[in-house]
Amino acid sequence: MDTIHYISSELLTLEIVNDILSQGKKLALSEEARANIIKCRAYLDNKMQDNDKPIYGINTGFGSLYNIKISNNDLSKLQENLVKSHACGTGNEVPEEVVKIMLLLKIQSLSYGHSGVQLITVERLIDFYNNDIFPVVYQLGSLGASGDLAPLAHLSLPLLGEGEVYSDGFRQPASKVLNKMGWEPIVLQSKEGLALLNGTQFMSAYGVHVLLKAIKYSYLADVIGAVSLEGFDGRIEPFNEHIHIIRPHKGQIVTARRFNELLEDSEIIAQPKKHVQDPYSFRCIPQVHGATKDTIDYVKKVFKTEINSVTDNPNIFIESDEIISGGNFHGQPLALALDFLGIALAELGSISERRTYQLISGLRGLPPFLVSNPGLNSGFMIPQYTAAGIVSQNKQLATPASVDSIVSSNGQEDHVSMGANAATKTLRIMENLERILAIELMNASQAIEFRRPLRSGEFLEMFIKLYREEVPLVSEDRILHYDIETTIAFLNNLQLDDAVIE
């Protein structure tokens, strides 16, 4: 297996990113990328030698200070000052796995030869990635326009020997790690600070991270929902393909087909039913789960475009001999997509909690709260409270961030996307969904035991057996917090087939 991923102009897909991360691949520049970076930097150096005209961000101030011309003697200092002054992040630290993706995506964006950075700058970012040296970045500070300025400033500080990093499992000064590795701090040249700070890699990294989780948990929502359907003695008819062919949303069709596969040869689903219909939380699984699948597909397309884009400013076009200031750093496409994804994930949690509620209600031959001797035992009464509280929080978090904008930089930056807030809260929704589905699995796996000796389909029985090795059946009251946490860990540790990611 190839242990190196070569940065190039070939499309970077979500599947490739997942492969890089899951296989622990190192990064290296392709010859094409090296040539692009060197050629663009040489063009900019030559351009600046004979140029007295102001070019935004290269020999001018930034934001509303764009009209202030900077001496050629101060261009390096200008870029260094930019990185330091913009490192104003605060709040919780960005998870290490997201910082790793930020490095990957920043390297990719700088490799196209439209940013004017030095080759050594990109190579140092690759050194950080390959040696698991992760800058300390904070979640709060970006408006999602002009790029993710504050987070990317913190990502870039260690290039200068400033800021802090995680290395060898410890948080420590970047200067100490650079000294240990024998690396000199980078001396930024004209435009480099702006190239590093302008960009959408904070939002993009969060989006990629959440999408990889969302794809997995969309699948697991189907599997867990199928266990719930069996535990509730539900009907198979709502998953009949004829229903979905006449309303052919892709996600709906895929969900129905998956349930038929999961329930194939199930003795429970095949037994005669006393009830004519199931509640919506069971009967409408194809429609609800399917809509989330379609949302994920849409958001994947947005992020596939973004992670293969140049998002700093200004952009350098050697062929046409132009340096053009525009707005590719504006995060509106990502902000809208992240809000959409957050809403869709919140709905997976909402319908999951409703299935949990039905399972504990003492219906269809199930004991109240899924426990023997109810009354003496409260059984699964309170996990549903927990799920309901989390679902309510997700509804609050699903309020779109992208509809907000606050003027900044003395009115020069008068519309922003707030995509960074959309990114961080969508990850919170995703993590909450993991907890909600874990609680549903606890209830569903308990309920299905009351259908014995009948058995479900082969795959579901194997899935339940694996789960039971981690979380035993509840025969009398115990501290269920530990069961919830163990179930979350069980789901997180499951490795899905690559076909599910695709």
Residue 262 and residue 459 in contact, taking contact as beta carbons nearer than 8 Å: yes
Catalytic residue (one of 6, 43, 56, 357): 56
Determine the Cα–Cα distance for residues 490 and 51; give it in Å rounded to an integer: 61
Helix or strand (DSSP H, E) at 441: helix 419-448
The strand pair at 4-7 and 26-29 is best described as parallel
User: How buried is 57 (Cβ within 10 angstroms: 0-12 exposed, 13-18 middle, 19+ buried)?
Assistant: buried
Helix or strand (DSSP H, E) at 125: helix 119-130
Q: How many CB atoms lie within 10 A of CB 68?
A: 11
Determine the Cα–Cα distance for residues 433 and 412; give it in Å rounded to an integer: 39
List phi, psi (to 5°) of 28.
-150, 150
Cβ-count burial 168-189 (b if 16+ within 10 Å, e if not): eeeebebbebbeeeebebbebb
Residue 83 and residue 197 in contact, taking contact as beta carbons nearer than 8 Å: yes
Determine the Cα–Cα distance for residues 193 and 87; give it in Å rounded to an integer: 12
Determine the Cα–Cα distance for residues 71 and 263; give it in Å rounded to an integer: 72
56 labelled catalytic: yes
The strand pair at 170-173 and 164-167 is best described as antiparallel
Determine the Cα–Cα distance for residues 284 and 286; give it in Å rounded to an integer: 6
Residue 314 and residue 55 in contact, taking contact as beta carbons nearer than 8 Å: yes
Residue 209 and residue 438 in contact, taking contact as beta carbons nearer than 8 Å: no
Residues with Cβ within 8 Å of residue 313, at least 6 apart in sequence: 56, 57, 147, 194, 198, 325, 326, 327, 328, 329
| Residues designated catalytic | 56
